[in-house]
Amino acid sequence: MSEVTRNRAELAKEKKALFGTDVDLRQYELPADNKAGIVKPESLSEEDRKKIISSGVDLADPNRAGTFLQADHRIVHCAAKQPGLEVLPMAEALEKHPWLEKFYWQAVHVDADKYTAQAELHFQNGYFIRAQAGQRVTTPIQACLYMRHENTAQNVHNIIIAEEGSELHIITGCATAPSLKSGLHIGISEIYVQRGAKLTFTMIHDWAEEVMVRPRSGIVVEENGVFLSNYVCLKPVRSLQMYPTTRLTGPGATARFHSVLLAPPGCELDTGARVILEAPQTRAEIIARTITTGGSIKARGHLRGLKPDVKAHLECHGLILAEDGVIHAIPELEGQTAGAEMSHEAAVGKIAEEEIEYLMARGLTEEEATSTIVRGFMNVRIEGLPPELQAEVDRAIEESEMSML
Amino acid sequence: MLEVIDLWVDVNGTQVLKGVDLNIPSGETHILFGKNGSGKSTLLMTIMGFRRYKVQQGRILFNGRDITEMPVNERAQMGIGLAFQRPPAIRGVKTRDIFNICNSDGVSCEMLAEKFDFSSLLERDLNVGFSGGEMKKSELLQLLLQEPALILLDEPESGVDLENLETLGKAINRLLQKHLWRTRAKSGLVISHVGFILNYIEADAGYVLMDGRIHCQGNPRELFKGIQRHGYRECIQCQR
């Protein structure tokens, strides 16, 4: 990348992020050799495979249009099985497509904070996924960023481009090896949904108890483009902070964010979504369901309506299932023009006793009633998501129910 | 079937019931009249066993068994069913799921829903955005699936438009086995504030609940006429 970009990163090396616990980057080792290397899939242990599958990525699954798997800084598997679809390691993509510079560090600023700076200065690959104009890739593409080495930093940079009129469904799983306790994951994701394109992005996170996670995402949706994001984080993590920004730049663009988050004791989640409705007739929806069994959650949301005839809704519901759990919902609406229609709905609390007793009056025990309500609470259905991806989300939720109740 | 003996109940520190006695034999339906805030709902909620309603004195017997301390779900399993006046909305839980929970005999939820023009609501979250009438219908259909022996109805007509009252009346009569005579085994305790329900269901006895006690018992239609003519306070004077 250019000297200018590098310099900007250098200057932001110590810049603290606006939100979330400050991470001391020096605590985490960086691999000596940062060049893209390849490891064979056979080198993954049975346990690694299981963990990767539980995050929604199955190398043996024939019903995937493409696959990307990176373990630490090395590529394990990368393939696209459909014409018009491209799946490449980022380093290779940058060499192959000089035009990619127009998309690199465009939706996310390189000097946003010390994490973006580190992703530039200590680049360790990532994926590039692109559907060429008019290509409808209806079978999902899977991508997994996997961490195996104790106390290392994984810094990846991803770009997704759904070109004009194309359709893409991506499931990404981020996970750590069962033996890994501590580490740092920095993931830059720049997502471009061009005119009339549709992209669904389902992300399932499965980290370890001492892992720090700092994703930095920027999304640009053009005229009549549709971006749907479905985020599930139900496994312990030490600290996760992310606040992706989406710009709806063309008339009729739509973005929807649905997330289901669980914070067990010792876990700190600071997440949300921000959507800027820059063009008329744009639509946005942010829906978060958060549950704490002892951890702390900040659920943010920010809608900015800049043009008339935009509609947006923000919804945050939190369930506190333990005495010492904390949920802090911070919804923000910012209308900068008459004719922007924006609303929000937030509710935080424990399960209402009258709901439990209502179900008990139908014959359920107190435990059965509670689990029925919690399951319903997490039941986030996203319109337009292929059934196989909905099934992955449902499975992740079902698994976590066992541990929660 | 149901026997309530000298029942004293406290709700959030307020003494609401002050020595209620009543007895509903098998196959009979009784109606409880009373002003708003007289303790009618408290009586039903206490019979169902909700925690907010604290029994300080007295006993509740169901089929001869003392259920005063029994958890709600066990009472439900023994055969007590309640149609709520204002059921809670439960987000994410489909009405169909609740119907399946209630369904003890593998009855087709679809057929029942279709019969009562309720099919379009099965996939909706329970009571989220339901009209008053839809909630009442949902409550009664749940009881039809649950098939309790003792049916407690808390103001089944409130919030329901006239057009739907007849459908609800039909559901209630079916619940209470009004088509059976000698073999009828279901009993009911119905709360009514306005008495409309008398036009749709045949009741065997009526009471007035006032100031936490039952004041008079009689033919429900005559009792209600008296209340309409003289108001509650005077009505209990004369009947006494």
Per-residue pLDDT tens digits for A144-172: 999 998 999 999 999 999 999 999 999 99
Cβ–Cβ of A373/B88 closer than 8 Å?
no
Strands (E), chain B: 2-11, 14-24, 29-33, 53-62, 65-66, 80-83, 90-94, 125-126, 150-154, 187-192, 205-210, 213-218
What residues contact residue A161 under an 8 Å CB cut-off, 6+ apart? A103, A129, A130, A131, A192, A194
Q: Does A156 touch chain B if contact means CB atoms closer than 8 Å?
A: no
Segment A230-236 shows an average pLDDT of: 90
Beta-carbon contacts below 8 Å between A and B: 65
Q: In what order do the strands lie in the sheet with A141-147?
A: A37-38, A74-80, A66-71, A141-147, A167-176, A198-206, A226-233, A254-263, A283-292, A310-320, A340-349
Question: Residue A357: is its pLDDT beyond 60?
Answer: yes
H/E stretch holding A399 reads helix A387-404
Interface of B with A (CB under 8 A): 48, 50-52, 71-73, 76-77, 81-82, 84, 87-88, 90-94, 97-98, 101-102, 125, 142, 146
Least confident of A13-22, A25-34, A221-230, B79-88: A25-34
**What is the least distance, in Å, from the CA of A380 to any CA of chain B?**
8
The predicted-structure confidence for B152-211, as pLDDT tens digits, reads as follows: 999 888 878 877 788 888 888 888 887 777 777 889 999 887 777 777 788 888 888 988
What burial class does residue A176 get, using C-beta atoms within 10 Å of its C-beta: 0-12 exposed, 13-18 middle, 19+ buried? buried
**Type of residue numbered A16:** K
| pLDDT above 60 (res A34) | no
Instruction: Please give the pLDDT value at position A107.
Output: 97
The yes/no answer to whether this complex scores an ipTM above 0.90 is yes
Per DSSP, helices labelled H in A144-219 are none
Distance CA(B188)–CA(A167), nearest Å, equals: 58
* Mean pLDDT on B133-142: 90
In sequence order, what are the beta bridge partners of A240? A213, A269
pLDDT at residue A192, as a whole number: 98
Mean pLDDT taken over chain B: 87
| pLDDT for the residue numbered B180 | 77
In this prediction, residue A134 carries a pLDDT of 96
| Interchain pair B101, A363: CB under 8 A | yes
Domains and CATH numbers, chain B: 24-47+71-239 (3.40.50.300)
Residue B236 clears pLDDT 80, i.e. is over it: no
Mean local confidence (pLDDT), A288-304? 95
Question: What gap in Å lies between CA B144 and CA B175, rounded to an integer?
Answer: 6
Q: Which two tokens stand for residue A198?
A: 């549709």
pLDDT at B43 over 80: yes
Res A60 pLDDT > 70: yes
Say if the Cβ atoms of A376 and B71 lie within 8 Å: no
Q: What is the mean pLDDT of chain A?
A: 91
Whole-number pLDDT of residue B149:
92
* Contact (CB, 8 A) for A272 and A288: yes
Verify whether the Cβ–Cβ distance B90 to A378 is below 8 Å. no
Return the closest-CA partner of residue B204 out of B2, B20, B26, B3.
Answer: B26
**Any idea which of A69-73, A202-206, A370-374, A399-403 has the lowest mean pLDDT?**
A399-403
Per-residue pLDDT, averaged over A367-380, amounts to 87
Query: Which CA distances in Å does A11 have to A193, A366, B18?
Result: 31, 57, 77
Does the CB of A375 have a partner CB in chain B at under 8 Å? Answer: yes
- Chain B residues within an 8 Å CB radius of A317: 91
Highest mean pLDDT among A43-47, A219-223, A234-238, B15-19: A219-223
Check pLDDT > 90 for residue A91.
yes
The two three-digit tokens of residue B173, written as one number: 């009569």
The confidence score (pLDDT) of residue A382 equals 66
Long-range contacts formed by A102-107: CB under 8 A, 24+ apart: A103/A159, A103/A161, A103/A190, A103/A192, A104/A1, A104/A157, A104/A159, A104/A190, A105/A1, A105/A5, A105/A190, A106/A190, A106/A218, A106/A220, A107/A190, A107/A191, A107/A192, A107/A217, A107/A218, A107/A219, A107/A220, A107/A247
The answer for residues whose C-beta is within 8 angstroms of residue A318's C-beta and 6 or more apart is A289, A290, A291, A292, A297, A299, A327, A329, A346, A347, A348, A349
Q: How confident is the model at residue B47 (pLDDT cuts 50, 70, 90)?
A: very high
Distance (Å) from the C-alpha of residue A276 to the closest C-alpha of chain B?
Answer: 28
Please give the share of chain A, as a percent, with pLDDT higher than 70. 96
- Residue closest to B156 by CA, chosen among B128, B112, B194: B194
Residue B4 pLDDT level (bands cut at 50, 70, 90): very high
Above 60 in pLDDT, residue A67?
Answer: yes
In this complex, is the C-beta atom of A348 within 8 Å of any C-beta atom belonging to chain B?
no
The token pair at A186 is 């920095």
Confidence bin at A397 (pLDDT 50/70/90): confident
Of B159, B137, B154, B232, which is closest to residue B191 (Cα–Cα)? B154
User: What is the model's pLDDT at position A380?
Assistant: 73
pLDDT reported for residue B77: 93
B142: chain A residues, CB-CB within 8 Å = 362
What pLDDT is stored for residue A383 in this prediction? 66
pLDDT of residue A319: 92
